[in-house]
A and B are shown apart, each in its own frame.
Chain A
Amino acid sequence: MPELSYREAVRDALSQAMRNDEDVFIMGEDIAEMGGSMGVTQGMLEEFGPDRVRNTPISEMAIVGSGIGAAIQGMRPVVEVMYEDFLTISMEQIVNQAAKHRYMSGGQLKVPLTIRTQGGAGWSPGAQHAQQVEAWFVGVPGLKVVFASTPSDVRGLLWSAIYDDNPVIFFEHRTLYGLKEELAEEIEPIPIGQARVHRQGEDVTVVATGRLVHEALAAAEEAGQQGVSVEVVDPRTLQPLDEDAIVASVKKTNRCVVAHEAVTRMGFGAEVAAVVQHQAFDWLDAPVERVGAKFTPLPFAPVMEEYVVPHATDVLEAIQKTVQRDGSS
């Protein structure tokens, strides 16, 4: 089994789909000769040529919009928006168009478009260059939202996204590209809408996404040494959300922490907390704790950025808060 990085796993899914299927192509800024700003598509121009690995002008609206045009004709485009901050520029195409075409055509049109993007803190590029904006999209009916945290997940989910007949926004986290894992040659598709239990535990469930999955796993190790057994669940797909998996886990552990890098307030974690309190109210021994970024724009200063976004220590602290509360009273 070859060892693939998260970056190579994304490339592998794209390449295998393109070898398999003439309808799949990729386009975006600087993805051809340069192989993308994160090196994800390196070497693909040589294999597939400029018609299928399309370098575009700097036009995020047209990148997504023309992807919609291709998709309604039966193609399966995978478009790349270089930084998720710049999804803002393609927002009309995503929210009003890609998400609504099927509905507004009475189900007759489909938009099998995948929008890949990446972002995240950890390299201190400032307020307009490292945001985590996945929560802006989960509330848009018609869209699917994926956020994968490991090489196997990113490969299997990207495959499913490409072959999903709905528009999918596919988030990658910048700091994960180097992460390695042994993967089988053959891609095993991972169904969209299925959570993954990374680690079994008895006392607390941590529902984490993206980079925070790894922070949660580190926190779980630490908690284990303190005698607290932590289960880590990665929803992997934020929309649709695998509520059953989350609720089942919380019914087992009776405590829940939600962790993501995006801001805590008004964040995706609030939805998870609502689902948990509604479906597992009688099982909860403590309020659901939320871990996320402080509610302020990302600072440019490296030390300051560290303070704003959450780390394993923040997850550990939240775990401790939930167990310190005595559920028997």
Chain B
Amino acid sequence: MAQTLRVPGSHELRRVIGDGEAIPDGEVEGLEERDLLELYRSMVLLRTYDERSVVFHRQGRVGTYAIFWNHEAMQAGSAYALERGDWIFPSYRESAIGLLRGMPVSTVLSWWRGHPSGWWNPLDYNVASICVPIGTHVPHAAGLAWGKKLRGESGCAIAYFGDGATSEGSFHEGANFAGVMRAPLILFCNNNQWAISTPLAAQTAAETLADKAVGYGIPGVRVDGGDVLAVFEATREAVARARAGDGPTFIEAVSYRTAPHATADDPRAYIDLERVEEEKARECLGRYEAYLQRAGVLSDELAEATRAEAAEALRSGIAAAEAEPPADVALLFEHAYAAPPASFAAELAELRELLDG
């Protein structure tokens, strides 16, 4: 099968949403008003989740939290191009992406609270568990996708990772594997241009991250990561390619991390605060809202109602998470092996004695 691979550095950023001035608004074929509003609801839910989580963290109600403000377009846009049976492999930055698959808000909050009720079953949602080591899940996604192909299933997998993750061997090996096996995989890179304190230019000498795709013999696309419709469209094409047996696609979604890396980080030592303010002014949810308003799809009342609905979901979510009873210590020993070794019983008995005594 012939494929045209682009010349390194030549990828333009795809966009659909205009700027209300010189750049005209585009449209995505096949997206109806209902879809546009569903995407909006998803983004608002994610935004609300994120903003409330930062507050909950300050109040000591969730632990260290990886903020994803201004990443909602990438998450909502790409997830909407998938079917329920397709697998999502999130990084910590996409911790709440399960919400878009119907996972309760309280589950994700519980996860960040370190409570057992935060263990979603990946098989219930087709949303994998989150790995701390950067990029380590890319080969998992490649393997799962390859397996779908071998079984003759039409499903695919998407792996989310950051710009920094592309420096890890596991990214490279996973991407190469998927390319060789023509696995139905979408490699979705959230290029927010920072990896903690390390800027993109210190991460790679490549002109664009999408250029890396050339080396794996797969298509690489660059898309404006603040444009939910462009992200959706690019992912939909990648999914179609995957389902058609044409193998993986690398999507580089370019955005900007306007928030600290996580609640524990103080970016003032390294980040360009002026740039942050510029990027905040063109954050993805505001851009989409303006688009919808220009298109006459979103009224102030509907926007208000959508936000209120999300706020309520967070209110009841945190209440439910905090109402969970404390976990029993037996859990410490329950899940490490299929059948716990004898030593576990002894250590649990010791622990119970300690706690009771």
Q: Please determine whether B347 and A59 come into contact, CB atoms closer than 8 angstroms.
A: no
Interface residues of A in 238-280 (CB under 8 A from B): 265
The CA of A33 and the CA of B265, in the complex, are separated in Å by: 13
Asked if residues A33 and B269 are in contact (CB atoms below 8 Å), the reply is: yes
B132-A29 in contact (CB<8A): no
The reply on B165 being an interface residue by CB < 8 A is yes
Q: Does A222 contact B (CB under 8 A)?
A: no
Do A33 and B114 have beta carbons less than 8 Å apart? no
> Is there a chain A Cβ closer than 8 Å to B299's Cβ?
no
Q: Which residues of B contact A55 (CB under 8 A)?
A: 197-198, 202
Count the A-B residue pairs with Cβ separation under 8 angstroms: how many? 93
Contacts of A307 in B (CB 8 A): 329, 332, 351, 355
Contacts of B63 in A (CB 8 A): 124, 302
Q: Are B203 and A296 in contact, CB atoms less than 8 angstroms apart?
A: no
Q: Is the CB of A34 within 8 A of B269?
A: yes
A193 in the interface (beta carbon within 8 A)? no
B:24-74 near A, CB below 8 Å: 63-64
Q: Is the CB of B164 within 8 A of A34?
A: no
Chain A interface size range:
35 or more
Q: Which residues of chain A have C-beta atoms less than 8 A from B203's C-beta?
A: 57-58
CB neighbours (8 Å) of B131 from chain A are 128
Say whether A294 contacts B168, CB under 8 Å.
no
Bound together, the chains give a CA A60 to CA B269 distance in angstroms of: 24
Q: Does any Cβ of B come within 8 Å of A61's Cβ?
A: yes
Identify A85's interface contact among B64, B132, B164, B329, CB under 8 A.
Answer: B132
Contact in complex: B132, A300 (CB < 8 Å): no
**CB–CB A37/B196 < 8 A:** yes
Question: At the interface, yes or no: B167 with Cβ under 8 Å from chain A?
Answer: yes
The answer to the question of A303 belonging to the interface, with a C-beta cut-off of 8 Å to chain B, is yes
> Given A85-B132, A89-B169, are A57 and B164 neighbors across the interface (CB < 8 Å)?
yes
Residues in chain A near residue B198, CB distance under 8 A: 29-30, 55, 57-58
Known: A128-B132, A308-B332. A300 touches B114 (CB 8 A): yes
**Residue A191 is within 8 A (CB to CB) of chain B in the complex:** no
**How many Å lie between the Cα of A34 and that of B198 in the bound state?**
9
Contact of A125 among B64, B326, B331 (CB under 8 A): B64
Q: How many residues of B contact A (CB 8 A)?
A: 37
Q: Does B343 contact A (CB under 8 A)?
A: yes
**Would you call A126 an interface residue if the criterion is a C-beta within 8 Å of the partner chain's C-beta atoms?**
yes
Nearest-neighbour CB distance to chain A for B71, whole angstroms, equals: 18
Residues of B within 8 A of A265 (CB): 343
In whole angstroms, how far apart are the Cα atoms of A129 and B134 in the complex?
A: 12
| Interface residue? B22 (CB, 8 A) | no
Q: Which of A141-189 contact B (CB under 8 A)?
A: none
B63 — nearest CB in chain A belongs to which residue? A124
CB proximity of B79 to chain A, nearest CB, Å: 25
B340 to chain A, nearest CB (A): 9
- When the two chains form their complex, are residues A34 and B196 in contact, meaning their CB atoms are under 8 A apart? yes
A299 to B119, CA, bound (A): 12
* A294/B114 contact (C-beta < 8 A), A34-B197, A35-B269, A304-B331 known: no
A58 touches B167 (CB 8 A): yes
- Whether the pair A294, B197 counts as a contact (CB closer than 8 A) is no
Q: Which residues of A contact B332 (CB under 8 A)?
A: 294, 296, 299, 304, 307-308
30 A-B contact pairs sorted by A residue (CB < 8 Å):
A29-B198, A30-B195, A30-B196, A32-B197, A33-B197, A34-B269, A55-B197, A55-B198, A57-B164, A57-B198, A57-B202, A58-B195, A58-B203, A59-B168, A61-B169, A85-B132, A85-B133, A125-B132, A128-B133, A129-B132, A294-B332, A294-B333, A295-B347, A296-B344, A296-B347, A299-B114, A299-B332, A302-B114, A304-B327, A304-B331
In addition to A89-B169, A128-B131, A299-B331, 15 A-B residue pairs with Cβ atoms within 8 Å of each other are A29-B195, A29-B196, A29-B198, A30-B198, A33-B269, A57-B203, A58-B167, A88-B133, A294-B351, A299-B332, A301-B114, A303-B326, A304-B327, A307-B329, A307-B355
